[in-house]
Amino acid sequence: MINRYTLSPMKELWTLKAQYERWLEVELAVLTAMEKLGEVPTGTLAAVKKTVRIDLPRIQEIEGEIQHDLLAFIRSLEEQAGDAGRYIHRGLTSSDVKDTTLALQMRDGLNIILEVAYRLQEALLKKARQYQDLVMVGRTHGMHAEPTTLGLKLFLWHEEVGRDIQRLERALKTISVGKISGPVGTYSQVSPEVERLTCKNLGLQPVRVSSQILQRDRHAEVIAAIAITGATLEKMALEIRNLARSEVGEVEEPVPEGSSSMPHKRNPITSERICGLARLLRGNLQAALENVALWHERDMSHSCVERVIIPDSFLLAHYMLVKMTTLIDRLVVHKEQIQKNLDLTKGAIYSQILLIELVEHGMVRSKVHEVLKAASKRALDTNTSLLSVLNDDPQVAELLKEQKIDEDALLERLRATSHRIIGHE
């Protein structure tokens, strides 16, 4: 991923140096297990730990000669470790190290993502409570429907992010596994006990069964959870963009960007960027799903794909969550414009509430529907409130007066509903 869309601490997790450090961590964990079980001479681990380090230039030099990154890494360690080096990578295959390392990276990456997702969820709840009394236009098909509150809109997002968190937590459990079972997963040269102890030392669970590799349905599940989270963020960003349009103007990004040619412009570029990056996450999911089916015990078709889609998905998801959290924290809300838009239909957006009231007090539903439809059009045509137009009908006017139905009463109903749904737990 280009630096423009990478943030700490996620970007440090996916560097080449970090990958080599994880490879070394896995190799040392295997030696720890083998020495404990008496499968290598006592003192092997101490000798290796004392002498080896990550030598990037040497690893790359060797890889240039033999065209195998893991083998180049192992040979670099052997050169440094002397006689103890012959026990490094004993009985293992490359995927034991690579897949277990990738699981560690994805585990730690998910924990970083979850930390920001928790913050976003908290920010949404705080804003939902702050604006639970702010009545605004609800829209369906892009048209004014019934009033809602800004608090309810934000609380809806809070709940959806909560489901994203649940998916990410399930994916975290799925990917927190390791595999130290040798070629094609048969433990031909390494014991299951080594795998168990190695995974324990790394904070992973050993898989019950593997082939040469960890099965890629696990990785697809992680990328799916990330992609769905991206879709949630896109949904939020798209709504912010729509509410920020010049014709609507109800909310605004904290730092909208201008135009190089038009000084008046205030563009919602952060929201637009989130919407665009969500497309990449969905594309990465397609590739992750295609990685599940491989030839026999494994082939290499998945490897080159994962070098791109896994780091990029984690980096993008982290970036998007951080940006959305900041956006929500500092969201600019234009209350006067919200009220102005609420008044645009002259009260017609209260038509269903009025319909139900009139039906419950004796009027025929079909007749009330026609009365309100006609009254709503007349209110718009004459620039008069719907309640004023309805008061011209003696039967309706009497009922409205009797039930003390006015605009303030209708707004209070909405606010009460908003309070009940959001709550204060």
| Residues designated catalytic | 141, 259
Dist CA 41 CA 62 (whole Å): 28
CB 187 within 8 A of CB 193: no
Burial code of 297-335, b = ≥16 C-beta within 10 A, e = fewer? ebeeebeeebeebbbbbbbbbbbbbbbbbbbbeebebbe
The distance from CA 25 to its chain's CA centroid, rounded to whole angstroms, is: 29
Instruction: Please name the residues in contact with 139: beta carbons below 8 A apart, sequence gap of 6 or more.
Output: 145
Q: Residue 230 and residue 280: Cα distance in Å, rounded?
A: 9
- Report H helices in 176-300: 192-202, 217-244, 269-290
Cβ atoms of 69 and 304 within 8 Å: the answer is no
Short-list 48, 50, 35, CA closest to 74: 48
Spell out the residues 6+ positions from residue 131 whose beta carbon is closer than 8 angstroms to its own. Answer: 149, 150, 151, 154, 333
* DSSP class per residue in 88-134: TTTT--HHHHHHHHHHHHHHHHHHHHHHHHHHHHHHHHHHHHHTTT-
Taking the chain, what is the end-to-end CA distance rounded to the nearest angstrom?
Answer: 40
Length of the chain: 425
Are 59 and 74 within 8 A, CB to CB?
no
